[in-house]
């Protein structure tokens, strides 16, 4: 592939921000802050928040490395990415990226986990779970450090590289962030990353990058609880499930979002309804669980579902004594098909 002509892609002002540099062995990644408020006004770009493994793609001569945030090389875990990375058109680059496993048009970290058993032995898993790598930033190219350039300029240069599957460019938008976030959530994305359009690349966590997550809510039946650990009082975590034709299907444990006073009161309430056997169709693999007559509905906020049908990042919003357990069928927008086994 033909090499990118960097000077032709930059204005004189932008060229002044670029300096000559040897290929860096490692660059500490820039990280996004969690954003409670959606940015408003001009000056922001926003792109899809992917749920995979964050890494830096290095092409240094004929060698390719996929370096994680902790400095580990994952090239042996994802060998099928290397030929496509060689086709990018440069033997000297560092790009910021995310490796994902797709299920339809949605990314699935549960599927990706099958590929993370260890480097050097991905052959069988590679056939079962194909992956893509999405490049979303360019930090170094052909002996030049690009990190002082605005992110929109770095992405312009990145877009000029030659992309072949399974390497993909991460598109961005610069219109209303709130509108894009609503669309992203409706499509089942994890959320967006909003970035200051004029921002340079700064290692470490920065308010110039903001993580805007799609939060889901659902109603679940409390079927048990675990004992508290350490200084925690009352309840360790609630074991919750959703109604299905087969019965109560386990959906996961909810241990955050509960204040101390509620924990104590909740423990007393649950003990009064304790029963010796599990109310779940398949008892969950929890250590030392205590079971309860299923009568209490919990409203839970969470980020998504694992491949095994478990809640991801659940947090208790409130208990709903005003609802019957028949109303607790999981996510309001429709949970995945409950998995009775496993």
Average pLDDT, integer, range 85-89: 94
- In the prediction, which pLDDT does 103 show? 80
| 168 plus 301 within the same structural domain | no
Query: CATH number for the domain including 122?
Result: 3.30.470.30
CA distances from 120 to 78, 81, 110 (A): 9, 14, 20
Is the Cα torsion angle 238, 240, 191, 149 positive or negative in sign? positive
Reply yes or no on whether the pLDDT at 8 is more than 90: yes
Reply yes or no on whether the pLDDT at 63 is more than 80: yes
| 133 plus 12 within the same structural domain | yes
| 51 plus 160 within the same structural domain | yes
**140, 173, 206 — which closes off a domain?**
173
ω into 166 cis (within 30 of 0): yes
Query: What is the 8-class DSSP label of residue 335?
Result: P
| 224 plus 146 within the same structural domain | no
**When comparing pLDDT for 109 and 298, which is higher?**
298
Residue 69 maps to a domain: yes
- In the prediction, which pLDDT does 2 show? 54
Mean residue pLDDT across the chain: 87
Range of the domain at 296: 216-331
- Phi, psi dihedrals of residue 31, rounded to the nearest 5°: -120, 150
| 10 plus 143 within the same structural domain | yes
Query: CATH number for the domain including 246?
Result: 2.40.50.140
Reply yes or no on whether the pLDDT at 338 is more than 70: no
Please give the model's pTM, rounded to 2 decimal places. 0.72
Active site residues: 49
Using alpha carbons, select from 45, 15, 47 the residue that is nearest to residue 190: 47
- Phi, psi dihedrals of residue 199, rounded to the nearest 5°: -80, 135
| 116 plus 228 within the same structural domain | no
| 237 plus 288 within the same structural domain | yes
Residue 22 maps to a domain: no
- In the prediction, which pLDDT does 124 show? 55
Residue 251 maps to a domain: yes
Separation of alpha carbons 285 and 276, rounded Å: 16
- In the prediction, which pLDDT does 256 show? 86
| 71 plus 162 within the same structural domain | yes
Residue 73 maps to a domain: yes
Query: What is the 8-class DSSP label of residue 177?
Result: H
Reply yes or no on whether the pLDDT at 28 is more than 90: yes
Do 154 and 76 touch, CB atoms closer than 8 A?
Answer: no
**When comparing pLDDT for 210 and 231, which is higher?**
210
**118, 139, 173 — which closes off a domain?**
173
Residue 179 maps to a domain: no
Q: How confident is the model at residue 160 (pLDDT cuts 50, 70, 90)?
A: very high
Separation of alpha carbons 176 and 17, rounded Å: 29
Average pLDDT, integer, range 4-9: 90
Residue 41 maps to a domain: no
| 148 plus 226 within the same structural domain | no
Task: Give the number of other CB atoms < 10 A from CB of residue 29.
Answer: 18
Query: How many domains would you assign to the chain?
Result: 2
Separation of alpha carbons 252 and 305, rounded Å: 10
**173, 205, 232 — which closes off a domain?**
173
| 163 plus 227 within the same structural domain | no
| 150 plus 250 within the same structural domain | no
Alpha helices by DSSP H, the chain: 6-9, 12-15, 82-86, 109-112, 123-128, 151-159, 177-186, 260-272
How do residues 302-335 score in pLDDT, each as one tens digit?
Answer: 888 887 889 988 988 888 887 888 877 776 534 3
How do residues 108-135 score in pLDDT, each as one tens digit?
Answer: 877 887 787 544 444 454 557 899 999 9
Residue 102 maps to a domain: yes
| 64 plus 126 within the same structural domain | yes
Residue 184 maps to a domain: no
Using alpha carbons, select from 168, 173, 181, 144 the residue that is nearest to residue 38: 181
């Amino acid at each position: 592939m033909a090499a990118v002509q960097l000077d032709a892609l930059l204005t004189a002002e932008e060229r002044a921000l670029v300096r000559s540099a040897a290929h860096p062995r490692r660059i500490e990644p820039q990280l996004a802050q969690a954003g409670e408020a959606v940015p408003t006004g001009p000056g922001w770009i926003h792109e899809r928040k992917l749920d995979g493994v964050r890494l830096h793609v290095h092409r240094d001569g004929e060698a390719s490395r996929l370096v994680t945030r902790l400095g580990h090389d994952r090239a042996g875990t994802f060998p099928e990415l290397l030929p496509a990375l060689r086709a990018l058109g440069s033997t000297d680059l560092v790009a910021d990226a995310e490796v994902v496993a797709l299920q339809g048009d949605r990314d699935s970290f549960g599927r990706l986990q099958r590929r993370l058993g260890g480097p050097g032995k991905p052959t069988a898993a590679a056939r079962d779970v194909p992956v893509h790598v999405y490049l979303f930033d360019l930090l170094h190219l052909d002996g030049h450090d690009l990190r002082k350039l605005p992110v929109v300029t770095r992405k312009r240069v990145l877009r000029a590289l030659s992309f072949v599957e399974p390497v993909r460019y991460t598109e961005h938008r610069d219109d209303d962030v709130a509108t894009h976030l609503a669309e992203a959530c409706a499509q089942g994305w994890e959320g967006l990353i909003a970035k200051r359009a004029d921002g340079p690349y700064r290692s470490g966590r920065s308010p110039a990058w903001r993580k805007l997550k799609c939060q889901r809510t659902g109603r679940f039946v409390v079927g048990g609880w675990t004992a508290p650990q350490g200084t925690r009082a009352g309840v360790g975590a609630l074991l919750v499930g959703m109604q299905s034709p087969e019965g109560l299907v386990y959906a996961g444990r909810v241990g955050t979002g509960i204040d101390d006073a509620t924990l104590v009161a909740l423990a007393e309430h649950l003990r009064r309804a304790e029963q010796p056997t599990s109310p779940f169709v398949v008892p969950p693999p929890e250590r030392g669980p205590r079971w309860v007559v299923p009568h209490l509905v919990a409203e839970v906020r969470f980020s998504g579902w694992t491949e095994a049908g478990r809640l991801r990042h659940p947090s208790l919003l409130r208990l709903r004594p005003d609802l019957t357990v028949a109303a607790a069928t999981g996510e309001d927008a429709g949970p995945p098909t409950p998995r009775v086994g496993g």
